Structure 1
Amino acid sequence: MYYTFNNMQAPYYYAYNRQQPMSYKSLQEALSLIKQAIEGEREDELFYDYLISVAPSQEEKDIIISIRDDERKHNRMFRSIYQSLTGQMITAPGQVEFEKPKTYIDGIRKALFGELAAVERYRDIRAGLPSRYYRDMVFEILTDELKHATKYNYILDLDTRRLIDK
Protein backbone atom coordinates (compact mmCIF):
# COMPACT_ATOMS: atom_id res chain seq x y z
CA MET A 1 0.00 0.00 0.00
CA TYR A 2 1.36 3.43 -0.91
CA TYR A 3 0.70 6.93 0.32
CA THR A 4 0.77 9.81 -2.17
CA PHE A 5 2.18 13.16 -1.05
CA ASN A 6 3.18 15.96 -3.45
CA ASN A 7 2.82 13.56 -6.38
CA MET A 8 5.37 11.20 -4.82
CA GLN A 9 4.53 7.73 -3.61
CA ALA A 10 5.86 6.37 -0.34
CA PRO A 11 5.10 3.16 1.47
CA TYR A 12 2.12 3.65 3.77
CA TYR A 13 4.12 2.76 6.88
CA TYR A 14 6.54 5.62 6.17
CA ALA A 15 3.77 8.21 6.03
CA TYR A 16 2.04 6.70 9.03
CA ASN A 17 5.16 6.61 11.19
CA ARG A 18 6.27 10.19 10.59
CA GLN A 19 6.65 12.30 13.71
CA GLN A 20 3.27 13.51 14.88
CA PRO A 21 2.91 17.04 16.26
CA MET A 22 2.85 17.47 20.03
CA SER A 23 -0.55 17.82 21.67
CA TYR A 24 -2.04 21.24 22.22
CA LYS A 25 -2.44 20.36 25.93
CA SER A 26 0.26 19.34 28.39
CA LEU A 27 0.38 16.38 30.72
CA GLN A 28 0.52 18.81 33.66
CA GLU A 29 -2.75 20.42 32.53
CA ALA A 30 -4.34 17.00 32.18
CA LEU A 31 -3.19 15.89 35.64
CA SER A 32 -4.46 19.11 37.22
CA LEU A 33 -7.90 18.62 35.61
CA ILE A 34 -7.99 14.96 36.70
CA LYS A 35 -7.20 16.01 40.26
CA GLN A 36 -10.03 18.58 40.19
CA ALA A 37 -12.47 15.96 38.88
CA ILE A 38 -11.54 13.52 41.64
CA GLU A 39 -11.71 16.15 44.38
CA GLY A 40 -15.29 17.02 43.39
CA GLU A 41 -16.37 13.41 43.82
CA ARG A 42 -18.04 13.67 47.25
CA GLU A 43 -20.09 16.74 46.38
CA ASP A 44 -21.26 15.02 43.20
CA GLU A 45 -22.25 11.95 45.20
CA LEU A 46 -24.39 14.04 47.55
CA PHE A 47 -25.99 15.82 44.59
CA TYR A 48 -26.91 12.55 42.84
CA ASP A 49 -28.26 11.05 46.05
CA TYR A 50 -30.46 14.13 46.49
CA LEU A 51 -31.79 13.92 42.91
CA ILE A 52 -32.54 10.22 43.37
CA SER A 53 -34.41 10.93 46.62
CA VAL A 54 -36.70 13.54 45.01
CA ALA A 55 -37.18 12.01 41.56
CA PRO A 56 -40.93 11.73 40.87
CA SER A 57 -40.86 8.29 39.23
CA GLN A 58 -38.99 5.02 39.51
CA GLU A 59 -37.90 5.38 35.88
CA GLU A 60 -36.18 8.67 36.68
CA LYS A 61 -34.63 7.26 39.84
CA ASP A 62 -33.22 4.35 37.81
CA ILE A 63 -31.80 6.70 35.18
CA ILE A 64 -30.07 8.85 37.78
CA ILE A 65 -28.79 5.77 39.62
CA SER A 66 -27.23 4.52 36.36
CA ILE A 67 -25.58 7.91 35.83
CA ARG A 68 -24.30 7.97 39.42
CA ASP A 69 -22.86 4.49 39.00
CA ASP A 70 -21.09 5.55 35.78
CA GLU A 71 -19.66 8.56 37.61
CA ARG A 72 -18.27 6.25 40.30
CA LYS A 73 -16.63 4.19 37.55
CA HIS A 74 -15.17 7.36 36.00
CA ASN A 75 -13.74 8.36 39.33
CA ARG A 76 -12.00 4.98 39.67
CA MET A 77 -10.64 5.32 36.13
CA PHE A 78 -9.33 8.85 36.75
CA ARG A 79 -7.74 7.72 40.03
CA SER A 80 -6.04 4.86 38.19
CA ILE A 81 -4.74 7.16 35.44
CA TYR A 82 -3.48 9.72 37.96
CA GLN A 83 -1.74 7.12 40.10
CA SER A 84 -0.19 5.40 37.07
CA LEU A 85 1.22 8.67 35.74
CA THR A 86 2.33 10.27 39.03
CA GLY A 87 2.79 7.41 41.49
CA GLN A 88 0.53 9.35 43.88
CA MET A 89 -2.94 8.71 45.20
CA ILE A 90 -5.51 11.48 45.56
CA THR A 91 -7.62 11.59 48.69
CA ALA A 92 -11.05 13.16 48.59
CA PRO A 93 -11.76 15.98 51.04
CA GLY A 94 -13.48 14.97 54.28
CA GLN A 95 -16.48 17.16 55.06
CA VAL A 96 -18.27 18.42 51.98
CA GLU A 97 -21.59 20.16 51.59
CA PHE A 98 -23.58 20.86 48.48
CA GLU A 99 -26.24 23.39 47.70
CA LYS A 100 -29.64 21.83 47.14
CA PRO A 101 -31.32 23.08 43.97
CA LYS A 102 -34.59 24.97 44.39
CA THR A 103 -36.51 22.24 42.57
CA TYR A 104 -35.92 18.79 41.16
CA ILE A 105 -36.00 20.18 37.61
CA ASP A 106 -33.49 22.90 38.51
CA GLY A 107 -31.25 20.07 39.72
CA ILE A 108 -31.72 18.18 36.46
CA ARG A 109 -30.83 21.32 34.48
CA LYS A 110 -27.74 21.82 36.63
CA ALA A 111 -26.77 18.18 36.09
CA LEU A 112 -27.28 18.47 32.32
CA PHE A 113 -25.02 21.50 32.01
CA GLY A 114 -22.54 19.90 34.41
CA GLU A 115 -22.27 16.92 32.07
CA LEU A 116 -21.69 19.20 29.08
CA ALA A 117 -19.00 21.16 30.96
CA ALA A 118 -17.37 17.86 31.92
CA VAL A 119 -17.15 16.90 28.24
CA GLU A 120 -15.12 20.05 27.60
CA ARG A 121 -12.80 19.44 30.58
CA TYR A 122 -12.34 15.78 29.75
CA ARG A 123 -11.54 16.63 26.14
CA ASP A 124 -8.64 18.72 27.46
CA ILE A 125 -7.57 15.87 29.75
CA ARG A 126 -7.59 13.47 26.82
CA ALA A 127 -5.48 15.81 24.70
CA GLY A 128 -2.77 16.02 27.36
CA LEU A 129 -2.36 12.31 28.05
CA PRO A 130 0.79 10.59 26.78
CA SER A 131 -0.54 7.35 25.36
CA ARG A 132 -3.43 5.88 23.51
CA TYR A 133 -4.17 3.58 26.45
CA TYR A 134 -5.07 6.50 28.74
CA ARG A 135 -6.71 8.51 25.95
CA ASP A 136 -8.98 5.55 25.21
CA MET A 137 -9.99 5.38 28.87
CA VAL A 138 -10.93 9.06 28.79
CA PHE A 139 -12.76 8.54 25.49
CA GLU A 140 -14.99 6.02 27.29
CA ILE A 141 -15.65 8.57 30.02
CA LEU A 142 -16.38 11.28 27.43
CA THR A 143 -18.93 9.15 25.61
CA ASP A 144 -20.60 8.27 28.92
CA GLU A 145 -20.90 11.99 29.72
CA LEU A 146 -22.61 12.60 26.37
CA LYS A 147 -24.94 9.69 27.11
CA HIS A 148 -25.73 11.21 30.51
CA ALA A 149 -26.58 14.57 28.93
CA THR A 150 -28.99 12.78 26.62
CA LYS A 151 -30.60 11.01 29.58
CA TYR A 152 -31.05 14.30 31.42
CA ASN A 153 -32.68 15.75 28.31
CA TYR A 154 -35.04 12.78 28.35
CA ILE A 155 -35.93 13.53 31.98
CA LEU A 156 -36.60 17.16 31.05
CA ASP A 157 -38.86 15.91 28.25
CA LEU A 158 -40.74 13.71 30.74
CA ASP A 159 -41.30 16.78 32.91
CA THR A 160 -42.62 18.76 29.95
CA ARG A 161 -45.01 15.95 29.10
CA ARG A 162 -46.23 15.86 32.72
CA LEU A 163 -46.99 19.57 32.52
CA ILE A 164 -48.86 19.19 29.20
CA ASP A 165 -50.89 16.23 30.48
CA LYS A 166 -52.15 18.17 33.53
Structure 2
Amino acid sequence: MDFYNYGRHNLYTYSEVAPFIQAIVPPVKLQQTDNTDIFTYPQNFQGALELIRQALLGENEDRMFYIWLIEQSPSEEDAQIISGIRDNEIGHYALFRQLYYELTGEMPPQVQDEVFAPPASYCQGLANALLGEQNAVQRYRKILYAMQDRVHINVLVEIITDEIRHGILYSYLYAKNGCRGVL
Protein backbone atom coordinates (compact mmCIF):
# COMPACT_ATOMS: atom_id res chain seq x y z
CA MET A 1 0.00 0.00 0.00
CA ASP A 2 1.35 3.40 -0.97
CA PHE A 3 0.85 5.54 2.13
CA TYR A 4 3.05 8.30 0.73
CA ASN A 5 0.67 8.92 -2.16
CA TYR A 6 -2.23 9.63 0.17
CA GLY A 7 -3.96 12.86 -0.71
CA ARG A 8 -1.97 13.81 -3.82
CA HIS A 9 -4.09 15.55 -6.38
CA ASN A 10 -3.21 16.38 -9.92
CA LEU A 11 -4.98 19.66 -10.59
CA TYR A 12 -3.35 22.29 -8.43
CA THR A 13 -0.05 24.04 -8.10
CA TYR A 14 0.79 26.14 -5.10
CA SER A 15 0.51 29.31 -7.17
CA GLU A 16 -3.06 28.45 -8.23
CA VAL A 17 -4.18 27.76 -4.68
CA ALA A 18 -2.52 30.74 -3.04
CA PRO A 19 -0.69 33.16 -5.37
CA PHE A 20 1.05 34.89 -2.47
CA ILE A 21 2.87 31.64 -1.64
CA GLN A 22 4.73 31.71 -4.96
CA ALA A 23 7.16 34.28 -3.59
CA ILE A 24 8.02 31.88 -0.77
CA VAL A 25 7.62 28.47 -2.42
CA PRO A 26 8.11 27.94 -6.15
CA PRO A 27 5.13 26.36 -7.94
CA VAL A 28 5.11 22.56 -7.84
CA LYS A 29 2.88 20.56 -10.16
CA LEU A 30 1.69 17.45 -8.31
CA GLN A 31 1.75 14.23 -10.28
CA GLN A 32 -1.45 12.90 -11.76
CA THR A 33 -2.29 9.45 -10.37
CA ASP A 34 -4.90 8.49 -12.97
CA ASN A 35 -6.67 9.87 -16.01
CA THR A 36 -9.93 10.87 -14.34
CA ASP A 37 -10.84 14.35 -13.22
CA ILE A 38 -12.06 13.69 -9.68
CA PHE A 39 -12.85 17.34 -8.99
CA THR A 40 -15.02 18.43 -11.91
CA TYR A 41 -18.73 17.75 -12.21
CA PRO A 42 -20.17 16.19 -14.38
CA GLN A 43 -16.97 14.42 -15.48
CA ASN A 44 -16.63 12.79 -12.06
CA PHE A 45 -20.30 11.75 -11.70
CA GLN A 46 -20.16 8.28 -13.31
CA GLY A 47 -17.05 7.43 -11.29
CA ALA A 48 -18.87 8.50 -8.13
CA LEU A 49 -21.84 6.26 -8.97
CA GLU A 50 -19.47 3.33 -9.49
CA LEU A 51 -17.82 4.02 -6.12
CA ILE A 52 -21.25 4.07 -4.45
CA ARG A 53 -22.05 0.69 -6.08
CA GLN A 54 -18.73 -0.67 -4.79
CA ALA A 55 -19.47 0.65 -1.29
CA LEU A 56 -22.74 -1.29 -1.34
CA LEU A 57 -21.36 -4.51 -2.83
CA GLY A 58 -19.66 -6.03 0.19
CA GLU A 59 -22.53 -5.63 2.65
CA ASN A 60 -23.00 -9.31 3.52
CA GLU A 61 -19.28 -9.96 3.76
CA ASP A 62 -18.91 -6.90 5.99
CA ARG A 63 -21.66 -8.12 8.32
CA MET A 64 -19.99 -11.54 8.59
CA PHE A 65 -16.65 -9.82 9.28
CA TYR A 66 -18.14 -7.76 12.13
CA ILE A 67 -19.79 -10.83 13.67
CA TRP A 68 -16.45 -12.66 13.52
CA LEU A 69 -14.50 -9.69 14.94
CA ILE A 70 -16.96 -9.24 17.81
CA GLU A 71 -16.78 -12.98 18.61
CA GLN A 72 -12.96 -12.78 18.66
CA SER A 73 -12.92 -9.71 20.93
CA PRO A 74 -10.85 -10.35 24.07
CA SER A 75 -12.85 -7.87 26.17
CA GLU A 76 -16.31 -6.42 26.53
CA GLU A 77 -14.88 -2.97 25.72
CA ASP A 78 -13.54 -4.23 22.39
CA ALA A 79 -16.86 -5.89 21.56
CA GLN A 80 -18.80 -2.70 22.39
CA ILE A 81 -16.52 -0.51 20.27
CA ILE A 82 -16.73 -2.88 17.30
CA SER A 83 -20.51 -3.23 17.72
CA GLY A 84 -20.83 0.55 17.59
CA ILE A 85 -18.74 0.70 14.43
CA ARG A 86 -20.83 -2.09 12.89
CA ASP A 87 -24.05 -0.22 13.69
CA ASN A 88 -22.60 2.94 12.09
CA GLU A 89 -21.66 0.98 8.97
CA ILE A 90 -25.20 -0.43 8.70
CA GLY A 91 -26.43 3.18 8.78
CA HIS A 92 -23.91 4.13 6.08
CA TYR A 93 -25.22 1.33 3.90
CA ALA A 94 -28.75 2.75 4.18
CA LEU A 95 -27.48 6.27 3.41
CA PHE A 96 -25.59 5.05 0.32
CA ARG A 97 -28.66 3.16 -0.93
CA GLN A 98 -30.79 6.30 -0.53
CA LEU A 99 -28.13 8.47 -2.14
CA TYR A 100 -27.82 6.10 -5.12
CA TYR A 101 -31.60 6.10 -5.55
CA GLU A 102 -31.81 9.90 -5.37
CA LEU A 103 -29.02 10.31 -7.92
CA THR A 104 -30.21 7.69 -10.44
CA GLY A 105 -33.91 7.06 -9.76
CA GLU A 106 -33.07 3.35 -9.48
CA MET A 107 -32.37 1.05 -6.55
CA PRO A 108 -28.77 -0.20 -6.48
CA PRO A 109 -28.14 -3.76 -7.64
CA GLN A 110 -28.20 -6.55 -5.04
CA VAL A 111 -25.24 -8.88 -4.64
CA GLN A 112 -25.56 -12.59 -3.95
CA ASP A 113 -23.14 -15.31 -2.87
CA GLU A 114 -20.53 -13.29 -1.03
CA VAL A 115 -17.87 -15.40 0.67
CA PHE A 116 -16.24 -14.43 3.95
CA ALA A 117 -12.68 -15.58 4.66
CA PRO A 118 -11.82 -15.00 8.33
CA PRO A 119 -8.54 -13.22 9.07
CA ALA A 120 -5.70 -15.27 10.57
CA SER A 121 -6.06 -13.56 13.96
CA TYR A 122 -7.91 -10.88 15.89
CA CYS A 123 -4.96 -8.52 15.32
CA GLN A 124 -5.03 -9.24 11.59
CA GLY A 125 -8.75 -8.47 11.61
CA LEU A 126 -8.10 -5.14 13.35
CA ALA A 127 -5.35 -4.34 10.83
CA ASN A 128 -7.65 -5.18 7.91
CA ALA A 129 -10.40 -3.03 9.40
CA LEU A 130 -8.04 -0.10 9.99
CA LEU A 131 -6.72 -0.16 6.44
CA GLY A 132 -10.27 -0.62 5.14
CA GLU A 133 -11.39 2.55 6.91
CA GLN A 134 -8.46 4.50 5.45
CA ASN A 135 -9.26 3.27 1.94
CA ALA A 136 -12.95 4.07 2.43
CA VAL A 137 -12.12 7.68 3.28
CA GLN A 138 -10.13 8.02 0.05
CA ARG A 139 -12.95 6.54 -2.06
CA TYR A 140 -15.72 8.48 -0.33
CA ARG A 141 -13.94 11.79 -0.87
CA LYS A 142 -14.14 11.13 -4.61
CA ILE A 143 -17.90 10.61 -4.25
CA LEU A 144 -18.14 13.84 -2.26
CA TYR A 145 -16.44 15.79 -5.07
CA ALA A 146 -19.26 14.81 -7.46
CA MET A 147 -22.12 15.89 -5.18
CA GLN A 148 -24.02 19.05 -6.10
CA ASP A 149 -26.88 19.06 -3.60
CA ARG A 150 -26.12 20.36 -0.09
CA VAL A 151 -27.96 17.46 1.57
CA HIS A 152 -25.88 14.93 -0.40
CA ILE A 153 -22.70 16.79 0.54
CA ASN A 154 -23.73 16.71 4.20
CA VAL A 155 -24.43 12.95 4.01
CA LEU A 156 -20.96 12.31 2.58
CA VAL A 157 -19.28 14.51 5.18
CA GLU A 158 -21.12 12.55 7.90
CA ILE A 159 -20.00 9.21 6.46
CA ILE A 160 -16.39 10.34 5.92
CA THR A 161 -16.03 11.74 9.43
CA ASP A 162 -17.47 8.50 10.84
CA GLU A 163 -14.91 6.51 8.83
CA ILE A 164 -12.10 8.66 10.23
CA ARG A 165 -13.43 8.10 13.76
CA HIS A 166 -13.64 4.34 13.09
CA GLY A 167 -10.00 4.36 12.02
CA ILE A 168 -9.05 6.06 15.27
CA LEU A 169 -11.02 3.46 17.27
CA TYR A 170 -9.39 0.58 15.37
CA SER A 171 -5.97 2.16 16.00
CA TYR A 172 -6.82 2.27 19.70
CA LEU A 173 -7.87 -1.40 19.71
CA TYR A 174 -4.79 -2.38 17.71
CA ALA A 175 -2.48 -0.68 20.22
CA LYS A 176 -4.48 -1.78 23.28
CA ASN A 177 -4.25 -5.43 22.27
CA GLY A 178 -0.49 -5.27 21.64
CA CYS A 179 -0.82 -6.05 17.94
CA ARG A 180 2.56 -5.83 16.27
CA GLY A 181 3.89 -6.32 12.78
CA VAL A 182 0.52 -7.07 11.17
CA LEU A 183 0.11 -3.76 9.32
TM-score tier by shorter-chain length is: 0.7 to 0.9
1:48 is matched with which residue: 66, 72, 81? 66
Q: Secondary structure at the match of 2:74?
A: coil
| Partner in structure 2 of residue 152 of structure 1 | 170
| Partner in structure 1 of residue 83 of structure 2 | 65
| Partner in structure 2 of residue 3 of structure 1 | none
Amino acid across the alignment from 2:89: E
1:103 is matched with which residue: 112, 121, 127? 121
| Partner in structure 1 of residue 11 of structure 2 | none
Moved over 6 A (4+): none
Percentage identity across paired residues of the two chains: 39
Question: TM-score with structure 1 length normalisation?
Answer: 0.80
Q: Distance in 2 between the 1:34 and 1:130 partners? A: 15
Q: Which runs of 5+ in 1 are unaligned?
A: 1-20
Q: Distance in 1 between the 2:126 and 2:43 partners? A: 31
The 3 A distance-change label for structure 1 pair 42 and 56 is same
Q: Which has the larger displacement, 109-118 or 126-135? A: 126-135
Amino acid across the alignment from 1:43: E
| Partner in structure 2 of residue 11 of structure 1 | none
In the TM superposition, what is the alpha-carbon distance from 1:85 to its structure 2 partner? 1.0
Q: Secondary structure at the match of 1:160?
A: coil
1:114 is matched with which residue: 119, 124, 132? 132
Q: Aligned pair count? A: 142
Q: Does 1:83 align with 2:126?
A: no
Larger Rg computed on CA atoms: 1
Q: Which runs of 5+ in 2 are unaligned?
A: 1-38
Give deviations 1:36-68, integer Å, cap 9, x for gaps: 101111111111111001111010000000000
The 3 A distance-change label for structure 1 pair 33 and 57 is same
Q: What aligned pairs does 1:5-44 form with structure 2 within 5 A after superposition?
A: 22-23=40-41, 26-44=44-62
Q: Secondary structure at the match of 1:70?
A: helix
Question: TM-score with structure 2 length normalisation?
Answer: 0.73
As a proportion of its length, which structure holds more strand?
A: 1
Q: Cα RMSD over matched residues?
A: 1.8
Q: Does structure 2 retain, via aligned residues, the 8 Å contact 1:24–1:127? A: no
Q: Does structure 2 retain, via aligned residues, the 8 Å contact 1:118–1:145? A: yes
As a proportion of its length, which structure holds more helix?
A: 1
Give deviations 1:116-136, integer Å, cap 9, x for gaps: 000000000100122221011
Q: Distance in 2 between the 1:42 and 1:25 partners? A: 31
The 3 A distance-change label for structure 1 pair 125 and 60 is same
